[in-house]
Structures are given as C-alpha cells and as structure tokens.
Amino acid sequence: MFVEKKKKIWITKLDCRGDVKLYEKVLEVCLNISQIDETFGYEYDEQYIYIISDSRDQAYQRGSWFHNKISSKILYRVYYRLEKED
C-alpha cells in the first residue's frame, strides 16, 4: 500500500477588516519583505493576505509583527494545510 507523504504548511491569514488603504500597505510590505527574505512567501485574494511559513512559531511571530508594527487593526489567524512533499 502506497502512503502519500504530506508536509504541513503554516499559514498566517491577515485580515485588514475592509480597510483598503491598510490592505494595500500590507501588500506593499509583503512585497518588500519577500524581495529581501527569500523564505518569506505570501498569497492574497480580494479580502485576505496569506503569509506562508515553515513552522507554527514563525507563523505566529509574523502575524504578531504585522499586528504590532503595521497596525493593531490587523487581525490574524494561524492554521496549517497539508501539501504533497517534493
């Protein structure tokens, strides 16, 4: 029987609570960080920004950083998804 190996990918979901200017500012910060730090990955849709991390602790630290340094209006939630290992 073949068992497919999966890896946990930790996600920090940032919610700017409908503030378009804040959302754009956070996207700009994410872009700047990703250009400096190759381990920093992010995705986004019309409402949320998703930061991709290697560990639970890193995911919480990143969410906390955005909440404390960019704006206390930003809410964040950390969870994981399973993806196939390479």
Asked if the structure places residue 86 within a domain, the reply is no
Domain assignment of residue 36, given as a range: 6-81
Give the CATH number for residue 62: 3.30.70.930
User: pLDDT digit string (tens) for 8-20?
Assistant: 999 999 999 999 9
Q: Average pLDDT for residues 37-50, to the nearest whole number?
A: 95
> What is the number of structural domains in the chain?
1
Distance, in Å, from the CA atom of 42 to the CA atom of 26, rounded to the nearest integer, reads: 11
Asked if the structure places residue 57 within a domain, the reply is yes
pTM of the model: 0.90
Asked if the structure places residue 1 within a domain, the reply is no
**Percent of the chain residues past pLDDT 90, beyond the cut:** 87
48 contacts 4 by C-beta, under 8 angstroms: no
